């Protein structure tokens, strides 16, 4: 009797255990099923074949209408930024942590990007008829960009242009285009077959820098096996197993999204700002927030005296920069956090260096090093701090 | 659990299967049971009587009767829950929050610093419901549900009424299911009270018109009301999942305040874990992360993927903790 009872109790406890196992299996099985389902039916390609294929597709075909969810993960090793709470949908927040972005692309320059936050959302909408909108629900503001005739209807460039200023570019297309341009003799390019991203079979281009001063170990670019749309970009820092930066689709659909996604009427009660075409270039409004995190706040003033050293992966950018300029800019942070406070917290982790050229402070992250010299110059690049010091020595 | 055994011997086979005989303190428990029977508390004795009645009906006719019996037991439980002064007080308090927010906004207005969602309330009363829910769903609603859930089994055990409830041949599984339904209904009622209070306050104090969603799209007012329903339903499911956690905790102890505290501490602990950036990878597995995802209903198109994932997480929590509650309760020695 006693033992029967004990056995019965053991059987009863098996039920919660089974429930737990079932839930655990359901959580774990998703990626496995996705990996097993789509057989790697893609023919093998060399890097050159693949790039040619991509170029051909890009030349002769409009990118297909699509929609999907993009997840961006950045662990750049930045000192944690003192972000004000409640700005989870601010573009600056893209610099650290993981973020989800919704993308709708309807062809003919119609594009919508939505960055959802807690009870807030930031949207970029391009209607393909010459206007683009930036809607920020947290501040209830609409910014309207009127686009020059020439750009209209061309691959949604207008909305992308508003985005290029963002150091952490947001769509895989955008980032891939720029990376491919950088690939030349300085880079070893290989192709991996059999990748599955967002349930699609994909080719993966692996770009490995040959420059030993580069902090980048390799960059991978996954291309959809059918449409050659970039599905994922990962940047690995030297000596790290996990990517320092990753942006990729977690869900993608190549069917035309509903047209109402691309229409926007400023809601009643919202503040509406107009931006002329020239002001819509990098610098407004994204870079004001976005660049602050990368210590280039005096962007307009700095552009004048900017120059670069080296080439390829080892390129070092030099801009005139001083902390005094920065404090002038303090006013009007526009809900994006106090830049001075942010720089201060970043500088806490800085290391003092010196050379024949003088002395300065070096900030190192996983992918980018920044050297601030005491004589008011700023060097930045995806290179080791030593390379920056060398560049500073070269007049 | 000698009283149940006695009842079984005179009653039906299916009940015996549900309440297995227990070894041990036969005579002592029986003596205590008989001693207590005469003084079993007022409200609960009614419930026991109903449960007993349900059992009798169960025996006399088959499935339709059984369904009716369960319904009667649910009705009795709900009657007890919604007549209990502390539960009424909690619901009244929840109903007051939207009114207080509305009055504060009306009286003091808003300045540059207030988030747009707050200023939008002044332009559209319907937003008050969403604002209130987003404020309450993180602590006050879980607290109310935690009190009812934590008290559900432990409270009966503490008051000494659990034995009598099980005396009726209603079965432990059925009793547990009825308790779970009761908690779910209370959670829904709590969310609905906030939503209705928010709607009424918004209608009375602020202009009401087409609703501006988080995506910047403006939808007609009926669409807005539909979204209120979706948000309320989603929150209620989230609260029901917490309720089952509370129910599982409640079967582990005979001290109701301990069960209530443990449930609430679980909520606070999850929120602390969720707030630490370094523990980011754990966030999707926490119950609390998904409660506020109801804002997916305020986007255009509705973020069905995020909300669907939230519902799956709620279902997973409900399944695991429901099973734990059952595993514990169906095989437990009921000594009080």
Confidence (pLDDT) at A1: 52
Nearest to B206 by CA among B68, B107, B87: B107
**B331/A13 CB distance under 8 A:** yes
**A119/B292 CB distance under 8 A:** yes
Range picked from A92-101, A320-329, B273-282 for highest mean pLDDT = B273-282
Residue A291 has pLDDT above 60, yes or no: no
The backbone torsions φ and ψ at residue A371, rounded to the nearest 5 degrees and listed phi first, read -115, 125
Across residues A181-186, what is the average pLDDT? Answer: 64
Confidence (pLDDT) at A63: 80
**A16/B217 CB distance under 8 A:** no
Residue A174 has pLDDT above 60, yes or no: no
Confidence (pLDDT) at A168: 47
**A121/B214 CB distance under 8 A:** yes
Confidence (pLDDT) at A208: 86
| CA-based end-to-end distance of chain B | 9
With cut-offs at 50, 70 and 90, classify the pLDDT of residue A106. Answer: confident
**B21/A5 CB distance under 8 A:** yes
List chain A residues with CB under 8 Å of B123.
Answer: 268-269
Paired residues of A195 in beta bridges? A202
Tens of pLDDT along A27-71? 887 667 666 665 557 788 776 677 777 767 776 677 888 889 998
| Nearest chain A alpha carbon to B132 | A119
| Higher per-residue pLDDT: A150 or A145 | A145
What 3-state class would DSSP assign to B38?
coil
Range picked from A101-115, A370-384, B243-257 for highest mean pLDDT = B243-257
Residues in chain B whose Cβ is within 8 Å of chain A: 20-23, 115-117, 119-120, 123, 130, 134, 210, 212, 214-218, 277, 280, 292, 295-296, 298-301, 303, 305-306, 316, 319-320, 322-324, 326-327, 330-331
| Nearest chain A alpha carbon to B280 | A97
| Nearest chain B alpha carbon to A264 | B217
Across residues A16-37, what is the average pLDDT? Answer: 79
| Higher per-residue pLDDT: A274 or B169 | A274
DSSP string of A292-360, one letter each residue: GGGT---HHHHHHT-EEES-GGG-EEEEE--HHHHHHTTS--TTS--HHHHHHHHHTT-EEEEETTEEE
**B216/A98 CB distance under 8 A:** no
With cut-offs at 50, 70 and 90, classify the pLDDT of residue A341. Answer: low
Q: How far apart are CA A243 and CA A77, in angstroms?
A: 11
- List Cβ<8 Å contacts ≥24 apart for A388-394: A388/A316, A388/A362, A389/A353, A389/A355, A389/A362, A391/A309, A391/A310, A391/A316, A391/A318, A392/A355, A392/A357, A392/A358, A392/A360, A393/A355, A393/A356, A393/A357, A394/A309
With cut-offs at 50, 70 and 90, classify the pLDDT of residue A177. Answer: low
Tens of pLDDT along B205-247? 888 888 888 888 888 888 989 999 999 999 999 999 999 999 9
Confidence (pLDDT) at A57: 77
Confidence (pLDDT) at B161: 86
Q: Where exactly are the structural domains of chain A?
A: 60-184+237-275, 295-393
With cut-offs at 50, 70 and 90, classify the pLDDT of residue A322. Answer: low
**B331/A269 CB distance under 8 A:** no
The CATH number of domain A60-184+237-275 is 1.10.3470: no
| Higher per-residue pLDDT: B130 or A360 | B130
Positions of chain B with pLDDT lower than 50, given as ranges:
1-48, 50-62
List chain A residues with CB under 8 Å of B292.
Answer: 118-119
Across residues A322-344, what is the average pLDDT? Answer: 55
Q: Which of A93-102, A121-130, A162-171, B111-120 has the lowest mean pLDDT?
A: A162-171
Residue A96 has pLDDT above 70, yes or no: no
Across residues A276-287, what is the average pLDDT? Answer: 47
CB B128 within 8 Å of CB B206: yes
| Most B-contacting residue of A2, A4, A10, A12 (CB-CB within 10 A), to test interface | A12
List chain A residues with CB under 8 Å of B306.
Answer: 116
**A135/B215 CB distance under 8 A:** yes
| CA-based end-to-end distance of chain A | 92
CB A291 within 8 Å of CB A166: no
Paired residues of A103 in beta bridges? A68, A113
DSSP string of A275-297, one letter each residue: E-GGGGSTTSSHHHHHGGGGT--
Q: How far apart are CA A259 and CA A236, in angstroms?
A: 37
């Amino acid at each position: 009797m006693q033992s029967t009872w004990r056995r019965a109790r053991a059987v009863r406890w098996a039920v919660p255990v089974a429930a737990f196992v079932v839930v655990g299996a359901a959580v774990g099985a998703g990626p496995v099923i996705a990996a097993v389902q789509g057989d790697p039916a893609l023919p093998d390609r060399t890097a050159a074949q693949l790039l040619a294929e991509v170029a051909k597709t890009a030349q002769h075909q409009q990118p297909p209408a699509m929609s999907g969810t993009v997840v961006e993960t950045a662990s750049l090793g930045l000192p944690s930024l003192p972000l004000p709470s409640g700005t989870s949908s601010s573009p600056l927040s893209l610099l650290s942590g993981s973020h989800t972005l919704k993308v709708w692309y309807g062809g003919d320059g119609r594009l919508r990007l939505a960055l959802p936050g807690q009870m807030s959302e930031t949207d970029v909408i391009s209607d393909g008829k010459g206007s683009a909108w930036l809607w920020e629900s947290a501040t209830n503001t609409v910014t309207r960009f009127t686009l020059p005739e020439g750009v209209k209807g061309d691959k949604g460039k207008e909305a992308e242009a508003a985005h290029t200023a963002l150091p952490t570019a947001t769509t895989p297309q955008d980032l891939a285009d720029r990376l491919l341009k950088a690939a030349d003799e300085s880079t070893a390019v290989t192709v991996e077959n059999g990748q599955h991203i967002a349930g699609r079979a994909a080719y993966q281009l692996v770009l490995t820098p040959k420059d030993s001063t580069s902090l980048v170990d390799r960059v991978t670019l996954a291309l959809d096996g059918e449409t050659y749309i970039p599905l994922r970009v990962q940047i690995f820092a030297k000596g790290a197993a996990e990517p320092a930066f990753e942006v990729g689709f977690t869900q993608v659909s190549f069917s035309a999204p509903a047209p109402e996604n691309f229409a926007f009427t400023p809601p009643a009660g919202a503040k509406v700002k107009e931006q002329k075409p020239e002001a819509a270039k990098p610098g407004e409004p994204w870079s004001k927030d976005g660049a602050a995190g990368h210590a280039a706040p005096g962007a307009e003033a700095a552009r004048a005296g900017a120059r670069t050293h080296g080439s390829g992966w080892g390129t070092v950018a030099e801009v005139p920069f001083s902390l005094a300029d920065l404090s002038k800019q303090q006013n009007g942070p526009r809900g994006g956090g106090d830049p001075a406070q942010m720089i201060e917290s970043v500088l806490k982790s800085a290391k003092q260096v010196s050379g024949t050229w003088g002395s300065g402070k070096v900030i190192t992250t996983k992918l980018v090093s920044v050297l601030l010299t005491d004589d008011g110059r700023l060097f930045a690049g995806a290179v080791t701090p030593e390379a920056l010091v060398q560049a500073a020595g070269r007049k | 659990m000698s009283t149940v055994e006695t009842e079984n011997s005179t009653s039906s086979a299916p009940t015996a299967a549900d309440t297995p005989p227990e070894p041990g303190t036969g005579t002592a428990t029986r003596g205590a049971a008989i001693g207590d029977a005469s003084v079993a508390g007022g409200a609960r004795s009614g419930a026991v009587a109903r449960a007993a009645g349900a059992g009798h009906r169960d025996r006399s006719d088959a499935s339709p009767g059984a369904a009716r019996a369960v319904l009667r037991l649910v009705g009795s439980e709900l009657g007890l829950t919604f007549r209990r002064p502390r539960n009424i007080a909690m619901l009244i308090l929840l109903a007051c929050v939207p009114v207080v927010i509305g009055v504060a906004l009306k009286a003091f207005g808003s300045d540059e610093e207030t988030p747009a969602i707050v200023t939008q309330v002044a332009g559209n009363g319907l937003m008050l419901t969403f604002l209130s829910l987003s404020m309450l769903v993180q602590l006050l609603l879980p607290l109310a549900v935690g009190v009812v859930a934590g008290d559900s089994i432990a409270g009966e055990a503490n008051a000494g009424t659990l034995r009598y409830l099980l005396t009726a041949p209603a079965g432990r599984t059925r009793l547990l299911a009825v308790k779970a339904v009761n908690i779910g209904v209370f959670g829904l009622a709590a969310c609905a009270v906030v939503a209705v209070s928010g709607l009424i306050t918004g209608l009375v104090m602020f202009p009401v018109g087409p609703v501006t969603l988080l995506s910047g799209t403006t939808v007609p007012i009926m669409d807005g009301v539909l979204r209120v329903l979706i948000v309320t339903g989603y929150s209620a499911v989230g609260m029901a999942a917490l309720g089952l956690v509370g129910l599982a905790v409640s079967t582990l102890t005979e001290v109701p305040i301990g069960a209530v505290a443990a449930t609430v501490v679980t909520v606070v602990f999850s929120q602390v874990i969720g707030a630490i950036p370094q523990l980011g990878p754990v966030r999707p597995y926490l119950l609390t992360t998904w409660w506020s995802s109801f804002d997916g209903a305020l986007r255009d198109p509705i973020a069905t993927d995020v909300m669907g994932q939230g519902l799956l997480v709620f279902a997973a929590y409900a399944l695991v903790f429901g099973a734990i509650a059952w595993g514990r309760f169906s095989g437990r020695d009921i000594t009080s």
